[in-house]
Amino acid sequence: MDPNSPILFFDSGVGGLSVLAPTRLLLPNAPVVYAADSAGFPYGKRSEAEIASRVPALLGRLVERFQPRLAVIACNTASTIALDHVRSALDLPVVGTVPAIKPAAELSASRVIGVLGTEATVRQPYVDDLAASFAADCTIIRHGSPGLVELAEAKLAGAEISVEAVRAATQPMFDAPGGDRIDTVVLACTHFPLLQEELGQAFPKVSYVDGGPGIARRIAWLTREQPWPQEPAGGIIVYTSADGERPLMSVLARYGLTEVKTL
């Protein structure tokens, strides 16, 4: 294994930074390529067929170009739809991101859990399977919020985000039958932990759970015997489109991403 072989993170936008951040804490010397499918954003409004064909094709091109040691689909929507397709197409380990329903069920006292994701993620049978396996005694209330995805992207681009806007994009989940008993919310979109401060202010009596730290531990375990550079490594962010709003470089630098490329 070449010590400079990177870990490839893939998302529709900047949401996967919430997975990259805990990975950086565990593996500070790991070279990183972070790919944001800006040309396809947002995935939550795309059909399952589009995502199932688009994601493996893009990851194939990225793997060919950057020769990573491992790929991370840092996107719940892409993972719940295309993870099996990607694993069939690529000859390297692939880590997916799925809604953290199991830890939410372990935490919930009221046994009413909110699953907050994209419209595409919350309707997937994969979510049904997770709920049946790990939260059979819980009521699961799902809400797809494309508005929150766009608010997270805007926040990383430097815009001021109000608590009121975050509350309005999330409130329908709490207004659903039984929603007033929700005590734990699964952030089933990697964008949403980027808004955890605003969510905490909007709904302060709720606990929030996301899969980022668990995914980071999985990445560390899969690469546990592999060599890394001797010093902390930098990172590249790759966009699939040259257009569109992007986070400030000063923001990206906090995640170790200092170079920008276009696929």
- Catalytic residue IDs: 75, 189
How far is residue 182's CA from residue 168's CA, in Å, rounded to a whole number? 17
CB 45 within 8 A of CB 77: no
Q: Report the distance separating Cα 169 and Cα 90, nearest Å.
A: 37
Q: At what angle do helices 146-156 and 163-175 cross, to 10 degrees?
A: 160
Closest CA to 109 of 205, 213, 211: 205
Give CA–CA dist 182/252, Å, rounded. 34
* CB distance 71 to 90 below 8 Å: yes
Measure the CA–CA gap between 166 and 21, rounded to whole angstroms.
Answer: 22
Tokens representing residue 122 in the block:
């919350």
- 21 is written with which tokens? 């951040």
Residue for token digits 């569109």? 244
- Phi-psi group of 105: left, alpha or beta (phi > 0 → left; psi -120 to 50 → alpha; rest → beta): alpha
Rounded CA-CA distance 136/34 in Å is 36
Phi, psi of 73 (to 5 degrees): -85, 95
Residue pair 8/68 in contact (Cβ under 8 Å)? The answer is yes
Candidates 135, 106, 140; CA nearest to 123 is 140
